[in-house]
Structure 1
Amino acid sequence: MKINIGRLMKEVEFYGQYGSVSGEGITRPSFSAADYEVRAIFINQLKEMGLQVHVDPIANIWGKLACEREDAATIVIGSHLDTVPNGGKFDGALGVLVAKEIIQTLLENNVLLQHNLEIVSFTAEEPNDFNLSTMGSRALTGKLTYSQLMNTSDSNGRMLHEAVKKAGGDLTKLSEITRENLAAYFELHIEQGKRLERQNLSIGIVDKIVGIYRDQIQVHGEANHSGTTMMVDRIDALTAACEMVLAIENITRSFNTDAVATVGKLDVYPNAANIIPGRVDFTLEIRSSCKEERRAIKDAIYKEFEKISESRKINIISNNILDQEECTFDADIVRYLQETADSLEIPYTTFASMAGHDATHVAGIAKTAMIFVKSIDGKSHSPEELSLAEDIEKAANTLLEAILMADKKL
């Protein structure tokens, strides 16, 4: 029994139309016009398949293929349909569409499971104008509170509860969102990196998600006239910040592991052509699957910051804004994916995801694991995002067989 790869790829192209702008990728953030349109299409498709469909209070979309046992637990497959601005058609949507294709394959082959099998499309996995990413999975697992959600608005003043209601949810019923009796959660996703491509592998099995550490850093120098202040007299916050950013890169590379550190955002004050910058704000992010390594990298970075502060006579103020632990997935679910890949003679590697996903949060309430598909050139969050049909087919068939194995063994 195999999935229909031709049908699946047509669906990927079909969904990729919504929010698409020629040459600029797909912009389909949650609660945008394109998102509402895709939601309606997806719900209709699930109903046409004969699934039991409901939209929960945070507007996650669920479609259930019920088994005959009334007391049966549920296996869930899912991901998300929203995108980043100018993103691609595979990130998130591929996982949801593969889930739909797997259930369609089971229906066509009259396969009856011992568990209920359910699709989920999570709300707002990507960053959005409400500044709450992985919103649907965090709300499901109790990590977002009623008051936090009810008091949230976007940059235009639209309240989140209004946007959720338009999507079919109802935040006033948030207490009813808790799911019980979940046997397992599987999520298929593109890798969004080059590790699989470097090893010439179609799939990777994910046994954990890295921890993420972020500090907001202020570099204080002295603003002054760019023409009248001689080089020897300058206390330039920007040049100091540049030295700090390079130190972050060099120190993290020196560990020679999969750990990464990034400065992706800088704000320069007063940001004028004829004024020496008096202050720079930037965010330091460190990702690693090992807490001790994250701490060691951070300590080495701040030791170098102290040297830069002294040599350049600047002041540094830091504030931690995120210290998210790594998430280790369930050994049984990981093993089912590995054994399935072995039985299908599909080469794979097992590694940690360097990006966060809804699975990070679902792992707190269900046995969870992920499977990655090779990304060509490692590109993601980009119009050039691409995974090949031959790689997707291998990943989807591995996931299908792993679900059948889990249905028998759980």
Structure 2
Amino acid sequence: MKINIDRLMQEIQDYGKYGEEQNNGITRPSFSDDDYIVRELFINQLEALNLSVKVDPIANIWATLKGNGKSDSPIVIGSHLDTVPNGGKFDGALGVLVAKEIIQTLQDNHVSLKHDLEIVSFTAEEPNDFNLSTMGSRALTGKLSYSELVKAMDSNGVKLSDAVLKAGGNLEDLSKIKRDDLAAYIELHIEQGKRLEKQDLSIGIVDQIVGIYRDKIEVLGEPNHSGTTMMEDRVDTLVAASEMVIAVEKVVSKFNSDAVATVGKLDNFPNAANIIPGRVDFILEIRSSSKQERAEIRKKIYKEFALIRDRRKVKINIETILNQEECTFDGDIVQYLQRAADSLGIPYTTFGSMAGHDATHMADNTKSAMIFVKSIDGKSHCPEEYSRLDDIEIAANTLLQAVLIADNELD
């Protein structure tokens, strides 16, 4: 029994049309117009497969293929359908569409599982204008409270509660969101790196995920006329922030590890050619498999920031917006994926992920693990993001076999 790769690849192309940019990138953040369209499309397709479909309070989409009743704990597969700005068509959507293809394959072959098999498409896995990434999985696992969510607004003043309501959820029902009945969660995702390509492997089995820390930093100075304010009289926040960005790179480069730190989002105010910037907002992100290392990196970065602050005579305000612990996946689920690959004669490697995923949070709620698909040139979060048909087919069939193994062995 194998998935229908032609059907799957056609769906990847079809979904890639929503939010498509002129350069072939895709911009489909959660709660955008294209996101709402894709949500409706996905739900309609699930219902056409005669699946039971529901949208939970945070607007995660769930669909169930009923089992034969021998187990009342469902196995869940899925990922997310939202994208970063100008991203690719595979990140997230591949995992959701492979999950749907696996269910169609089971239906085509008249296979009935002991467990219910559920698909989930999580809300707002990617960073977004509400500054709440992995929103759906964190809300599901109790890591985002009602008070945090209900006060959230985007840069246009739209309330998250209204955006969720439009997507079919309802924050007022958040207390009902928790799932204690799951047998397992398995997520397929593109690697977004070069490790598989360097080893000439189609797939990798993921046994852990690094921790991710993010601070929103506000640098305050004095906006003024760019022509009449002499250089010695300026308190230029953009110059100060630029030095801080360089300091981040210098600090992390001195650590002999796989730790990384990034300033990937920076907003300059008032952003006019003839005004000295009076405020800059940016987000500092630190990733490492060690909580202690992340703390040490942060400490050294802020020591440099303080020196820049004092020299440049600016002020700094800091708000922590994400402090996600590292995650070790369940050994049984990792083994099921390894056994599935072995049964198909597929070579693989087992490693940790440097990118965060919904599976990080699901691992706190149920037995979880991931399978990665090779990314060509390691590219992701860009229009050039690509995974080959053969690699996708291998990964999807490995996940299918892992689901069958899990169905047989999990209570």
> Which range moved further: 150-159 or 131-140?
150-159
Q: Offset of 1:352 from its aligned partner?
A: 2.2
In structure 1, the residue matched to 2:23 is 23
Output one character per residue of 1:265-285: Cα deviation in whole Å (capped at 9) or x when no partner: 345567666777677554332
Indicate the residue corresponding to 1:245 in structure 2: 245
Q: Is the 8 A contact 1:217 1:319 kept in 2?
A: yes
Residue 399 to residue 178, structure 1, CA distance change in 2 (3 Å): same
Tell me the equivalent position of 2:39: 39
Distance across 2 between alignment mates of 1:399 and 1:391: 12
SS at match of 1:25: coil
User: Counterpart in 2 of 1:201?
Assistant: 201
**AA in 2 matched with 1:174:** L
Partner of 1:166: 166
In 2, Cα distance between the equivalents of 1:95 and 1:361?
Answer: 16
CA distance in 2, matches of 1:32, 1:236: 34
The alpha carbon displacement at 1:10 in A equals 0.9
Q: Normalization by structure 1: what TM-score?
A: 0.88
Residues 293, 359 of structure 1: CA spacing in aligned structure 2 closer, same or farther, 3 A cutoff? same
Letter of the aligned partner of 1:74 in structure 2? P
Q: Tell me what 2:318 maps to.
A: 319
Structure 1 gap ranges (5+): none
The corresponding residue for 1:91 is 91
Aligned to 2:213: 213
Q: Which residue number corresponds to residue 132 of structure 1?
A: 132
Aligned residues: CA RMSD: 2.9
Distance (whole Å) between structure 1 residues aligned to residue 65 and residue 298 of structure 2: 47
**In structure 2, C-alpha distance between the alignment counterparts of 1:60 and 1:271, rounded to whole Å:** 37
Q: Which residue of 1 aligns with 2:284?
A: 284
> What is the distance in 2 between the residues matched to 1:20 and 1:220?
36
8 Å CA contact 2:71, 2:116 repeated in 1: no
Separation in structure 2 between the aligned mates of residue 287 and residue 124 of structure 1, nearest angstrom: 20
Contact 2:235 2:314 in 1 (8 A): no
The C-alpha deviation readout for 1:143-179, integer Å capped at 9, x for no partner, is 2333443444444444433333333323333222222
- State the alpha-carbon separation in 1 of the partners of residues 194 and 115 from structure 2: 36
Q: Residues 226 and 276 of structure 1 are in contact (CA less than 8 Å); yes or no, is this contact kept in structure 2?
A: no
Deviations along 1:108-151, one digit per CA (max 9) or x if unpaired, are 22222221111111122223343332222222222233344344
Letter in 1 for 2:334: V
CA distance in 1, matches of 2:350, 2:12: 26
Unaligned runs of 5+ in 2: none
2:145 paired residue number:
145
Match of 1:394 in 2: 394
Equivalent pairs, count: 408
Deviation of 1:80 (Å): 1.2
Shift in CA distance, 72/379, structure 1 to aligned 2, threshold 3 Å: same
SS at match of 1:127: coil
The 8 Å contact of residues 210 and 355 in structure 1, kept in 2 or not, is answered as yes
SS of residue in 2 equivalent to 1:26: coil
Q: String of CA shifts for 1:317-346, please: whole Å, max 9, x gaps.
A: 463513321122112111221222233232
Q: Which amino acid aligns with 1:85?
A: P
SS of the aligned residue for 1:214 comes to strand
Please report how far the alpha carbon of residue 33 of structure 1 lies from its aligned counterpart in structure 2 after TM superposition.
2.9
CA apart distance, 1:13: 0.8
Deviation at 1:227, TM superposition (A): 7.7
- TM-score, normalised with respect to structure 2: 0.87
How far apart are the structure 2 equivalents of 1:243 and 1:69?
Answer: 61
Counterpart in the other structure of 1:385: 385
Which amino acid in 1 is paired with 2:390?
Answer: E
Which residue is equivalent to 2:120?
120
